[in-house]
Amino acid sequence: MWRVLSDSVFSPQMTRYTNADFADDDSVNSVQLNEGISSSATHIRYHAGSSIWKLRSPLEKVLLLLVAILLFTIFILAIVLHITEHKLQESKQPIVQPPTIYPNGNLSGSVPCLTAACVHAADGVLRSMSSGAVGVPAEGTAPPGTIPPSPCDDFYEYACGGWAKNNPPPTGKTTWGTFMRLEQENQMVIVRILEQPIDTLKSKAEQKAKMYYESCLDTNDTVEQLGATPMQELLIKLGGWNITNSGFNIDSWTLQNITQTVQNRYNIGGLFSYAVGEDDRNSTRHVLQIDQNGLTLPTRDYYLNKTIEHQRVVNACLEYMVKVGVLLGGEANSTRKQMEDVMDFETRLANITIPNELRRDEEQLYNLMTIQELQELAPFIDWRMFFEDAMRIVKKKIDKKEPVVVYAPDYLKNLTGLIKEYNNTRTGRTILNNYMVWQAIRVFTVCLSKAFRDAYKGFRIALTGSESGEEPQWRYCIQDTNSVLGFAIGAIFVREVFHQDSKIQAEEMINNVRNAFKKNFKNLKWMDEETRQVAIAKADAISDMIGYPDFIKDTDQLDERFESLTVRNDSYFENNIQISQYNLRKNLEKINEPVNKTSWSMPPSTVNAYYTPTKNQMVFPAGILQAPFYSPSHPAALNYGAMGVVMGHELTHAFDDQGRQFDRHGNLKHWWKNETVERFKDRTKCVVEQYNKYEINGKHINGNQTLGENIADNGGLKAAYHAYLELMKDKPEPPPLPGIPLTHKQLFFVAFAQVWCSAVTKEATNLQIEKDSHSPAQYRVIGALSNLKEFSQEFSCRPGSKMNPQKKCEVW
């Protein structure tokens, strides 16, 4: 179980008061218009034809005019003073003098930092911000017809309003943001090396990565020439598919055989998923784990929530299934009918699948039992036979007393009843086989010819909104190679671009953020002292892995890792079969082996980060330790606002609603006092309610589903900001960035927001709301900043404004 930064790691106007030079009250009261003149004379004075005016000397006339002008000016100033005092009394806010912005665009006349690094950083910041965002006029003082972006109204728009304009999404991208842009820059580094002659690569593992990459590029058109043949041959190995003429025989078919073939030969999830992983309650050992699985569409809601939008996606998915069936040799009408039956079966699976937002209590999810007890719970297959079949791959044995952790017992129990119903008829058994084989087909169709990729387009457009075509093949292939041979690719990436100094400096930053996080514990009134002390101990025990695992720099160790993997440069489909089997074998080898708590689960070139509760470990790959997230030459405000918050985010995952259930050793354990647990849950209810109110495209964010990530966003921001304050304590304000009239504290918040600058299609946003544990980018910014009082202080946001609401949610 990971806590990943991004799945893909998203207020009324700020009021500014200006002091006016008011006249002294005593001088106003002492002014006399014309001492000794009656009211009648005063009346006559305003009459242009008065004979008294004619009698005045030129000097007297001048003096009287000056007095009149002075009186009028004082009268106007008195009115202004009265109105201003009235407004100030209503708002109960002090008058805040805005920073003086000089013609050169800097604060208070300070000489800006004009190094190449500062100029480059300033350019990046400005190109992402909304046009006119810097130097925003006070609330209500904008020129007629203009609505300048305000940091107190919508800080995401303020910081990211120009990002989409200056960073148009590449072809084929439905989601485009800071993470993805840096990832594409990393791809340029990798492709430059992979396109060199194979004998220039430093290890056999790297050579295998090159061969896999070439097989994906298909420069010899092998994939196109083979067409459907590789999949048709696989169908025969699977025992046949009723939709095509591939040897299916209902009389000899059993669910046991097809399940073992699909899941134990080709490592594809079917009716359930299983793996060997760290035991949540004893994180030093590996154990078998089983969970719910089996849907083609991203979430159960697509099947069960019959909205127009959902039905469009379901229909597009069915069309995709039918096209693939026909391409593999099925007759159109028969294929459609049988695929409809598969979709109906998946709908029934969705009905018994537990929603993710109800699966956040780790103690309730954890159900340890023996294989024999599992058999009694869900006897739709012979579980001992199933796992004995799997373990033959690694030459290990298990028996009926082998422990297994079941994360979805209710699902498996209900699945047993559903399978029994289908198993009772020949038609039902045919549907079950069609379903199981479809699970294998949908995984491997991406390895087939263009006709199969084209079949997917309509479904992709309905699901994500992408109509701009496919991204260049070489980019897809670099990404694919990194996903299957990521540590071989990582060796190339680290060698080319990652500097050891970055690792050392990142370690220092992590420790600063950790110290700030711990220091805040004393301010948490809801936490009792005993729990506070063990929480500090857990924070101290979190290990941090930075840059890359050491083994990738040792050629022998790297080659040994991939020694059993066979790769050819002219067989893309077969390469993917080999990799699936290799991954299954490496996973099963862990059974009964001790846990290596320094192992990595993410390739070094990845632009992301994660936390693992059972290892109490944070990982920050080399791929993310680059600008704009981090640069040794950037001002500390930018580094802490971007990378520092990423570090704080992963650190806070150790204490979110799920991570806090694991102790310092990574074991699922009740280690908080009950009263503190209840007060913690009350705090999290505030966060759930806050994010439930956020809405995009007419859809509300699911506050329960995104709770852990929202807690991490809020806690990480706070910890990183206070780490920055501590770093800059007793230090002078650094020179401003050129052309940006913001303090460095303000720049910290801009840097945080700009991590999440992105452009996303409506469909992709809707999919994220349905499926993702992360809130959409704009509300990752707005939600966290609106809860942090220090943000509103720095930008002088009045209470009650959108970015400074009266009610704030605070957990950590």
| N- to C-terminal Cα separation, the chain | 22
244 close to 437: Cβ distance less than 8 angstroms = no
- From the CB of residue 462, how many other CB atoms can be counted at a distance below 10 Å? 19
Cα–chain-centroid distance for residue 349? 28
Is 246:236 a contact under the CB 8 Å cutoff?
Answer: yes
Give how far Cα 398 sits from Cα of 373, 403, 451, 561, Å. 14, 9, 44, 25
Query: Could you check whether the bond before residue 734 is cis, i.e. omega within 30 degrees of 0?
Result: no
The encoded tokens of residue 661 equal 């259930």
Catalytic positions: 650, 713
Q: With contact defined as beta carbons under 8 Å apart, do 232 and 329 qualify?
A: yes
Residue 120 — φ and ψ, nearest 5°?
-65, -45
Q: Report the alpha-carbon distance of residue 117 to residue 165 in Å, rounded.
A: 23
What values do phi and psi take at 730, rounded to 5? 65, 15
Q: Residue 788: how many CA atoms within 13 Å on its side-chain side?
A: 26
Residues forming beta bridges with residue 223, ordered by sequence position: none
Task: Report how far residue 226's alpha carbon sits from residue 527's, in angstroms, rounded to the nearest whole number.
Answer: 64
Burial class (CB in 10 A: 0-12, 13-18, 19+), 523: exposed
Residues 6+ apart with CB under 8 A from 455: 320, 323, 324, 327, 445
Of 474, 572, 549, 471, the C-alpha closest to 190 is 474
Distance CA 145, CA 148 (A): 10
- Report the C-alpha gap between 591 and 288 in whole angstroms: 7
Would strands 543-547 and 617-621 be described as parallel, antiparallel, or unpaired?
parallel
d(CA 270, CA 291): 11
Q: Where are the beta strands (DSSP E) in 480-571?
A: 543-547
- DSSP letter for each residue of 690-726: HHHT-EETTEE--TTTTHHHHHHHHHHHHHHHHHHHH
List CB contacts of 152: < 8 A, sequence separation 6 or more. 11, 12, 13, 14, 15, 139, 792, 795, 796, 797, 798, 801, 802, 803, 804
- The residues that bridge with 547 in the sheet, in sequence order, are 621
Please, are residues 621 and 2 in contact by the beta-carbon 8 Å criterion? no
For Cα atoms 804, 806, 811, give the angle at the middle one, nearest 5 degrees. 85
Q: Which amino acid is at 329?
A: G
